[in-house]
Amino acid sequence: MPLGTWLKAGTSAAALVLAMATAATAAPASEPTTALAAAVTLRYDDTRAGGWETAIAAGVASWNANVSNVRLVEAAPGTGAEIVIVATTGWPQATLGPVRPGRQVRVELGSQAVSQGYDKTRIAAHELGHSLGLPDTKPGPCSQLMSGSSAGTACTNAVPDATERSRVQSAYASSVAALIPTDGRNLIDAP
């Protein structure tokens, strides 16, 4: 067989093998393909938030249970953290994110709100929401975590609503989002 015929046959065979391999690994047309992005992991440091540990743990658990594109984990001792949480005597406040890995925001959990009757867990979850990129939605109902103090002291809801969850999911939807800078504004949650 002449060399040209061998080359044509080899090229055709390679194309056939490639086509078959592609067809074998492709999803059937009837099944939607959904690529699950790996969750962005953000570390928090609460070593300077004495008295708030239980509320912080509950706030973190609420976010981790309600969004899948971002995971909050406690920073190991001596390592850096994207979210630095401190206890203060003033009103709760936080830097507006969304914070990205390797960047840093600050959450201040103020005792002034607690002394006026606001729920510690709601405060912690709300301030973490700011770090994840959510602004206040004041005035707002108790069902909106980001309504903050405008929902009143009787409100203890520490769970983000569907809109809040969706906004955080979108903010951490892809690795491209990791390049978007944070807002950097400090939001003070006084009524």
Name the packing angle between helices 53-66 and 120-131 (round to 10°).
Answer: 50
Q: Cα(20)–Cα(95) distance, rounded to whole angstroms?
A: 52
From the candidates 31, 82, 108, 127, give the one annotated as an active-site residue: 127
Find all residues with CB under 8 Å of 106, minimum gap 6, and list them.
83, 84, 85, 86, 94, 95, 186
Pure H helices in 34-151: 53-66, 111-115, 120-131
Tell me, yes or no, if 53 is annotated catalytic.
no
Active site residues: 127
